[in-house]
Structure 1
Amino acid sequence: MSNEALIVEQEGHVATFTINRPEKRNALNPEIHAGMVEHIDRLSEEGDVRCLVIKGQGDLAFSAGDDLKRAPGDPGPQPTPGKPAELQWPHRKTVQSIFDAPFPVVAMIDGYCVGGGLALATECDIRISTDRAQLGIPPSRLGIIYDYERIQVFIDLVGPAFTKELFCSGLRVDPQRAL
């Protein structure tokens, strides 16, 4: 059960979601968010899964974040700088499904993990990263406003000072610095 942008596999008690848009550095779109919500809910109801792994296709990116260059007319709300609710609504449903899942959700991070991709990874219970990962939040460069709940997750994970540095500078860091 997969769609083109999200590959869903299950082997034994482990399910794997692969964000399958390598040509877009696995940028997230409404189709991916809807697929994650649908399949997390289904796997939760079936009760056979004991762990869910989320990863990106290829070795360039876990996810470059929300697709800010979607064509007009694509399904779902169009991203608009300065209007957080339009961009974040699909992500909120995904986050709630991850939070409600009766199994741990693991983000396997390789390559770029920025913006909405990093927000998705921080919502997972466990994050595992290669040394090649580059983590960052670029809202200050893009004019995107993050809501308090998403920022609070970062504060809880890395503290207020590093959260301010990430959000205000837009810099990318390696996994060792992110610790």
Structure 2
Amino acid sequence: MLRIFNALILLCLSQTAFAIDIQPNTLYPQVQLDTSMGKIVVELDRTRAPLTVDNFLTYVVKGHYDNTLFHRVIAEFVVQGGGLDLKQEERPVAAPIVNESGNGLSNTFGTIAMARDQNPHSATSQFYFNVGENVRLDPSSRRWGYAVFGEIIKGADVIQAMSNVATEQNLKLQWPDFPIKDIILEKATLLPRK
């Protein structure tokens, strides 16, 4: 049953891929993130996480990530964003995707992965960068992990600097680890094929 469900999702995403051009035939697409603290380029791995990569690229191409906040920063752990606009309001998202955490990629420093809640198949638009060796976020025989789908190829120093900013409890959202000074993802761009 899960195999049929995955096939249907893949079919829907592949049709979307052609409709909005997320480079469906590129195995390792690259995305540039222009942030208020500098540029980051990530290379995504469609061979290991095809559903997750297509999901992320769909949000990129539609402009979902433009002018959003990195809202969760924990030194030596993660820098998370992709969900809040500059007014600290959640942006609308598409349906959650299937968790691809068992793909052989690990939550090590400099990788990008999907954020989710307790439900393993609840990831939508939010993502995080690992700024530590977070292998405890990988799957095990008893639990789902968090799906890694690429890595930073330029700008690791930018992520490291982000991870060290001062944070506080956000009173509006009641979220901890919120940067005191906004860190903005100004623009996310799918780079041309090489």
TM-score normalised by the chain length of structure 2: 0.27
More helix as a share of residues: 1
More strand as a share of residues: 2
